[in-house]
Structure 1
């Protein structure tokens, strides 16, 4: 089995979908491996953490715990998954976590491959592009938690790591997997333990995957995961149908919860034509009260269509809330309220929840007491349905704020299909 450690929950669903795209059986665990669940019937086991923006020492500790649990379950190779926009800060957490995992498994050289072509993320000459612009010129430059103002990945990574960082440039990647492996070996011999690898398309990623498929630890985003999945899918015993996911795909009572204020999520919410409620933490700075009011609103509007409950606001309104309440407090109020609302909705019979925002997804999963699920079909690239059979049957769609086309929320309100 391949064991995957993802630094947030929507990133975990993204990489789980990438592995499932080749019809591998993928188990997704939230926060930790549930000892009551068997990992033996999976080809890939993904553990979704919330370590992207916590202190580096906490991220390292949680990641090592996950790595040890995965290895104890029989995962001989580890994949450390971070966002395709390399979300991090000069203090971490990509570098410190990767160093700790490398030491844990005696990994040797570790590659860094955030390229995910389906999301428009590519790396050329060590520089990360978002669509046609450099990362530092994209909207990620103004990210409230991890502003990315430098597109040069070797430089970004070197600021977080204690070891030298090398680069496998695109001309070597185009020469094929043997050339990539040889260049990695050369760089490692001169002392570069961390190695950024260029890739601008799926053909490049397939060559990189062939070069590193036997490595004990690789790091990257969903693009590399999908390439590794295409290799693993050819192994005996792969491509078996997941009957549990099929059985739980019949969930029909839907609600949408959105805590993300990203430009894409705002665009998706603007397409919504059903009942909608916006939570206002300035007017009601209390999670319990916000949740009570929202659930009372749901009770009044039940039968009028699928509801959307969000805290989504334009940048000016968001800044005002952060200035009034403090950024951490404003986020805490909203996230906790949305978790309470998720519990209340499921108690009222909602069995399909669409959740927008990484932190919001984490809070909803925590509030519901969900420990693990099985990965079904994608509603959009990197956004799969997750089918959970305990503590109660529910289908979850956990969407990163920037993911999905403008009609994703509207389209996902239909009945999902599982593999």
Structure 2
């Protein structure tokens, strides 16, 4: 294994795994495996990049650091020469963490400073300019992320936001330096390291900026960012002869299907509305769930009664309604109950023959993946930017784990077609 990634949620892990598997046009990417949790056995010999999916984005800081360092230790035993800490392209975090504490902890374990920190993902409208994060043409603080139920982001100045989470000062590499080329970026990072700055925000507005940062990172032990930061990394290993590049194939998985949506993002709610026009959907009554009147059995009846019709079950709701439910039941209790319900439902669905499963929402996807005990999955074709097919090693199950804000309006129907192999697509 050449490259090891530690991701703070499950959909984000699939996102960066997808980026590493694609690589740059005409060059191909790396042979990537996504692990759900820290593996207990060595990686397969053919794996060039291993992505460890953790569920630490909103975990207590001490727990998040401990899990990240344990993941780092396993990746080190696999022979990795470079490591990435992957977080969301909207920099999801509280004023206390976890991006800063985890990033500093990994950097400390590796003995490095002047570490790239760049959440930019231009393909889905996330860009960084003068240290400020934009979502399309709006500052982060003016996007729907301001009202995120777990990690609301009221400040678009991510250098300032990160400084609230870290012990060391936070640096900045501006767009002017990035556009001056990879050598200029390396020099700026060396200066930052000499000034005691561990994490350094780097501007990026287009994919070419991310390629420049990736080229600058060649030989660097550690960098952090959204999935976009990985765009240029496979080329470094291919140029050096350590990785082969190439093309991989995915033939599809047939069988019963289901869609589970726990995200309250605007994108997911729009996708649900579009899907509901032509397919059966079940809106979960949260009050009934909390009172014990609605559970797995009722959801199973709905899904199995609509096999072949792309049935969708969702708890997604308007942010104002979610806030009211959180006040009524408590944020942690509500999240724990809903995640547990989706996890138990997914487990029973698979036991009852579901072979194609689409899940929307980072926390929901993490709960589902952990419940299924999937271990390691191969990375298949990209469904939409940032969302690949995840396939079991025996092709007995195929999943799509979607971050709440990702995906085209018709994502759910499209994803099921991709999982079945109805869409011809080759990669690597």
Scaled by the length of structure 2, the TM-score of the pair is 0.92
- Whole-angstrom CA distance in 1 between matches of 2:302 and 2:5: 40
Q: Decide whether aligned partners of structure 1 residues 189 and 277 sit closer, same or farther in structure 2, where only a CA change above 3 A counts.
A: same
1:374 counterpart residue number: 378
2:38 counterpart residue number: 32
Contact 1:115 1:221 in 2 (8 A): yes
2:91 counterpart residue number: 86
Contact 1:3 1:44 in 2 (8 A): yes
The runs of 5 or more residues in structure 1 that have no matched partner are: none
2:112 aligned to which of 107, 112, 122? 107
Q: Decide whether aligned partners of structure 1 residues 286 and 213 sit closer, same or farther in structure 2, where only a CA change above 3 A counts.
A: farther
Number of residue pairs aligned between Structure 1 and Structure 2: 413
- Whole-angstrom CA distance in 1 between matches of 2:292 and 2:380: 32
Moved more, 307-316 or 266-275: 307-316
Q: SS in structure 1 opposite 2:287? A: coil
1:168 equivalent in alignment to 2:173: yes
2:403 aligned to which of 397, 400, 404? 400
Q: SS in structure 2 opposite 1:375? A: strand
**Cα deviation 1:360-413 (Å, max 9, x = unaligned):** 1111111111111011111100000111137x8210100011111111112112
Contact 1:169 1:197 in 2 (8 A): yes
Query: How many Å apart are 1:187 and its aligned residue?
Result: 2.3
- Whole-angstrom CA distance in 2 between matches of 1:131 and 1:301: 37
Query: How many Å apart are 1:288 and its aligned residue?
Result: 9.0
Query: How many Å apart are 1:242 and its aligned residue?
Result: 4.6
Contact 2:257 2:355 in 1 (8 A): yes
Contact 2:178 2:203 in 1 (8 A): yes
Contact 1:336 1:363 in 2 (8 A): yes
- Whole-angstrom CA distance in 2 between matches of 1:102 and 1:217: 7
1:254 counterpart residue number: 257
- Whole-angstrom CA distance in 1 between matches of 2:169 and 2:303: 55
- Whole-angstrom CA distance in 1 between matches of 2:373 and 2:198: 39
1:357 counterpart residue number: 361
Q: Decide whether aligned partners of structure 1 residues 288 and 78 sit closer, same or farther in structure 2, where only a CA change above 3 A counts.
A: farther
Counterparts of 1:12-91 in structure 2, within 5 Å, are 12-22=13-23, 23-35=29-41, 38-91=43-96
- Whole-angstrom CA distance in 2 between matches of 1:170 and 1:128: 13
1:213 counterpart residue number: 218
CA RMSD for the aligned pairs? 1.8
Runs of 4 or more, structure 1, over 4 Å off, are: 240-243, 286-289
Counterparts of 1:338-357 in structure 2, within 5 Å, are 338-357=342-361
Contact 1:136 1:150 in 2 (8 A): yes
Contact 1:287 1:333 in 2 (8 A): no
Query: How many Å apart are 1:231 and its aligned residue?
Result: 3.1
Query: How many Å apart are 1:146 and its aligned residue?
Result: 1.0
Counterparts of 1:92-241 in structure 2, within 5 Å, are 92-236=97-241, 237-241=243-247
Q: Decide whether aligned partners of structure 1 residues 200 and 241 sit closer, same or farther in structure 2, where only a CA change above 3 A counts.
A: closer
**Cα deviation 1:204-226 (Å, max 9, x = unaligned):** 11111111221111001111111
Query: How many Å apart are 1:241 and its aligned residue?
Result: 4.5
**Cα deviation 1:65-106 (Å, max 9, x = unaligned):** 000000101111110001111111121111111111011111
**Cα deviation 1:145-203 (Å, max 9, x = unaligned):** 11111111211111111101111111111111111111111222222222111111111
Contact 1:287 1:336 in 2 (8 A): no
The runs of 5 or more residues in structure 2 that have no matched partner are: 24-28
